Chains A and B, each alone.
Chain A
């Protein structure tokens, strides 16, 4: 069964350092999401891609976070510099359709647990 791949699974970094997460969506999935989930909270959308284009990054802290999906396939989320408050689970999800509303579901990768010390 096709899966969303994420790496690394765990990352410990010191504050002020740079950190990057990678996601490879299910083959053929046009929509890719990056979420941040703090313990006890629901996932919060950071950025949404349709193919290689960003369609929503309204909640992305752009002074320190960046995301790209250059060829419309895999994606990288970067934090520089990392802060203590960035400690969270970073989740990537993908969905097949490009359309604004459709009946296709989103599937998640295993996530990256980031700890900033």
Chain B
């Protein structure tokens, strides 16, 4: 099982709709979770971080964390065409020896917002 899993998509939503992006992770000890946005040909840009169970809102973005079910999600309200990008879920996970923690990424979900 991969450490961080995401549906690769593509996910297509109409402008103004809610886009829902999901991510699951395998390490129960993980404490830190991040969502990055990556436009084609560009580097990842951090948009949300979440560390506690529940919801965290920042403008049109809401991150949701459920440690018991080992999933984290990102909701984008009032989706805009400029939100069209790949969304990467990242988790800090322990290495096989348990002595180091690395920032591990999923494959990303491609989101397209149609005008």
Q: Which residues of A approach B to under 8 Å, CB–CB?
A: 33, 35, 40-45, 48, 55-56, 58, 89, 91, 93, 95, 100-103, 105-111, 113
A58 touches B95 (CB 8 A): yes
B31 touches A45 (CB 8 A): no
A110 touches which of B43, B46, B100, B108 (Cβ 8 Å)? B43
User: Given A33-B103, A42-B108, are A91 and B92 also a contact pair (CB < 8 Å)?
Assistant: no
Interface residues on B, range: 20 to 34
Q: Which residues of B approach A to under 8 Å, CB–CB?
A: 4, 6, 8, 31-32, 34, 36, 41-46, 49, 51, 88, 90, 92, 95-96, 100-108
A93 touches B108 (CB 8 A): no
B107 touches A106 (CB 8 A): no
B92 touches A101 (CB 8 A): yes
Query: Whole-angstrom distance from the CB of A105 to the nearest CB of chain B?
Result: 5
Apart from A42-B108, A43-B105, A48-B100: 10 A-B pairs, beta carbons within 8 A = A40-B8, A41-B107, A42-B4, A42-B88, A45-B102, A56-B102, A100-B101, A102-B32, A103-B51, A111-B42
Complex Cα spacing A74 to B51, Å: 29
Most A Cβ at <10 Å: residue of B51, B101, B108? B101
Query: Whole-angstrom distance from the CB of A102 to the nearest CB of chain B?
Result: 7
